[in-house]
Chain A
């Protein structure tokens, strides 16, 4: 991510309304660039799914401002980068990491099959998630994730997901 320009940076609790505000901001900013509708929709989808994952699955630590959700959107001459971070309970890590490892190993056809398998067999949770977000981001962006888990305390870790959307012809 050399010489990248930060277009949006958010640090703080993430409500449903705040997600809408960030999406509108992104749409307005990207209007100023000559990207195709497909690239804009890829960024839109990646942003919705990643921010909704934070909204639905974050385990916040009250008054720990250092580990509030963070989001940034940046750009260089090849990619649009999204970085999304949130605190979560450490016992959620194994399942999430398994999914990330699996998704990063799959090609486009494999991702389509995996998506199909989850959507046909998975239940939508009470929070409205269907466990499809991560697969969907990988499917639309066609790039591998960067991710990390950093320990906060005995119970919590800080999860960061890095997503790339190519805006040039690969």
Chain B
């Protein structure tokens, strides 16, 4: 299965879903003009990944999946979609795959850290919180 790569823009994040290494990353800023149009393809890609890779389990062994979320800002409409994406990973986890979720945050940014803690609570799954020291 081909990776999914979306270049970042001023208002949308960088996306890189790498099925070969089972590493999935969303990073940057998210305030798309049309949230549905931006995030629906990501959810569809994960459905296809489940069907073509996880369910067949032929190309790859039981996956050790890593989701890296490195958000600098996201609006409330985005948070709904981040939750939907995480729900997919919870489903993959319930099917026996190992899932690790890394939530990166600027060490001075309490808002992003708190958002991560809230989302982790909502999906009832522990995140690793990784502070990033801003470059001077």
Binding site for B on A (CB under 8 A): 16, 20, 36-38, 41-42, 44-45, 48-49, 52, 112, 115-116, 119-120, 122, 124, 126, 128-130, 132-133, 135-136, 140
* Contact of B73 (CB < 8 Å), options: A44, A116, A130: A44
| CB <8 Å contact, B80 and A124 | yes
Report chain A residues within 8 Å CB of B110: 38
Is B80's CB under 8 angstroms from A132's CB? yes
Q: Contact between B108 and A132 (Cβ–Cβ < 8 Å)?
A: no
Q: Which residues of B contact A (CB under 8 A)?
A: 10-11, 31-36, 73, 75-77, 79-81, 83, 106, 108-112, 118, 121-122
Please indicate which of the listed interface residues B31, B110, B121 has the most CB atoms of chain A within 10 Å of its own CB: B31
B36 with A124: CB separation less than 8 A: yes
Q: Are A133 and B73 touching (Cβ within 8 A)?
A: no
17 A-B contact pairs sorted by A residue (CB < 8 Å): A38-B108, A38-B110, A41-B111, A41-B112, A45-B111, A52-B31, A52-B77, A115-B118, A116-B122, A119-B79, A119-B80, A124-B80, A124-B81, A128-B35, A132-B76, A132-B79, A136-B79
A49-B75 contact in complex given A124-B80, A128-B34, C-beta closer than 8 Å: yes
**A136–B79 CA distance with the chains assembled, in angstroms:** 10
Grouping DSSP codes into helix (H, G, I), strand (E, B) and loop, the A interface class, with mixed when no group exceeds half, is: helix
Q: Which residues of B contact A41 (CB under 8 A)?
A: 73, 109, 111-112
- Which of B36, B83, B110, B111 gathers the greatest number of chain A CB atoms within 10 Å? B111
Counting from the closest, the 5 A-B pairs by CB-CB distance are A132-B76, A128-B35, A130-B80, A136-B76, A41-B111
Distance A63 CA – B109 CA, assembled complex (angstroms): 43
